[in-house]
């Protein structure tokens, strides 16, 4: 697997080794040993999957301490713009974001460490999105930031009139009023 850094320290893009022939393809979507050698030793405890239609924006989500999460995300079918926003108050890249296109065609994965809010926009007719978390979901600790916060300035790659949000995601505060991390335990190399 190939690890590609983003413009922000922490989140990275992972390109798996793909073996294809006339029958189709095969790739190892996750190996604990290879992940530890290339990035960090992590133990994922929960896998999630969602299916969304074109225009859906999910996010920007994160969990509050002590339930902060690292995520390893990928798209099985379709195409999304995946985004990680640095919410570490003392970080030199605070409020900045890294974005990557994930698709069933490119097989890329995106690793998002603690201290980042996460979201994605569906660019195809529909998308099946999978992600691993190293901490269990805790509804008492969930938090979010407004997807359209001008301080962050994310270009989701969608016309504003096509964006579809959940009621919960409509109510997230801007970065200036959100809970932020002073010194999160970020997993790195």
Is residue 118 flagged as an active site residue?
A: no
Q: Where are the beta strands (DSSP E) in the chain?
A: 2-5, 12-15, 18-21, 24-27, 46-53, 57-63, 71-77, 79-86, 97-103, 109-112, 116-122, 126-133, 142-144
The model's pLDDT over 122-142, given as tens digits with 9 standing for 90+, comes to 999 999 999 999 999 999 999
Q: Is residue 135 part of a domain?
A: yes
Q: Is residue 26 part of a domain?
A: no
- Model confidence pTM above 0.75: yes
Is residue 107 flagged as an active site residue?
A: no
Position 28 scores a pLDDT of 87
Specify the 3-state DSSP secondary structure of 21: strand
Q: Which tokens sit at 28?
A: 């190892």
Going by C-alpha positions, the residue among 131, 129, 112, 130 that lies closest to residue 78 is: 129
Number of domains composing the chain: 1
Domain assignment of residue 103, given as a range: 44-177
Q: Is residue 29 part of a domain?
A: no
Report CA-CA distances (Å) from 31 to 88, 112, 135, 136: 29, 17, 18, 20
- Find the CATH number of the domain harbouring 157: 2.60.120.10
Q: Is residue 53 part of a domain?
A: yes
CB atoms within 10 A of CB 166: 10
The sheet with strand 2-5 has its strands ordered as 2-5, 12-15, 109-112, 71-77, 126-133, 46-53
Burial 108-123 (b: 16+ CB within 10 A, else e): bbbbbbbbbbbbbbbb
Specify the 3-state DSSP secondary structure of 103: strand
Alpha-carbon distance of 173 to 123, in angstroms, equals 24
Report CA-CA distances (Å) from 105 to 15, 63, 76, 77, 101: 12, 30, 8, 8, 11
Q: Is residue 12 part of a domain?
A: no
Could you read off the pLDDT tens digit of each residue along the chain, which spans 189 residues? 999 999 999 999 999 988 989 999 898 889 889 998 999 999 999 999 999 999 999 999 999 988 999 999 999 999 999 999 999 988 999 999 999 999 999 999 999 999 999 999 999 999 999 999 999 999 999 999 999 999 999 999 999 999 999 999 999 999 999 987 665 555 432
Q: Give me the catalytic one of 62, 107, 118, 131.
A: 131
Position 180 scores a pLDDT of 79
Q: Give me the catalytic one of 61, 107, 118, 172.
A: 61
């Amino acid at each position: 697997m190939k690890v590609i850094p983003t413009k922000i320290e922490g989140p990275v893009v992972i390109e798996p080794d793909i073996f294809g022939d006339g029958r189709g393809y095969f790739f190892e979507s996750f190996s604990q040993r290879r992940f530890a050698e290339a990035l960090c030793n992590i133990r994922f405890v929960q896998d999630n999957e969602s299916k969304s239609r074109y225009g859906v924006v999910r996010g920007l989500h994160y969990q509050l301490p002590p339930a902060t999460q690292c995520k390893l995300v990928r798209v099985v079918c379709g195409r999304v713009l995946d985004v990680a926003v640095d919410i570490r108050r003392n970080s030199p890249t605070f409020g900045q974001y890294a974005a990557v296109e994930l698709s069933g065609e490119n097989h890329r994965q995106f690793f998002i460490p603690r201290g980042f809010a996460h979201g994605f926009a569906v660019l195809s007719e529909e998308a099946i999105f999978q992600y691993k978390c190293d901490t269990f979901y805790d509804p008492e600790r969930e938090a979010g930031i407004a997807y359209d916060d001008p301080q962050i300035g994310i270009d989701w790659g969608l016309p504003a009139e096509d964006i579809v949000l959940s009621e919960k995601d409509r109510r997230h505060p801007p970065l200036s009023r959100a809970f932020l991390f002073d010194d999160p335990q970020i997993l790195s190399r």
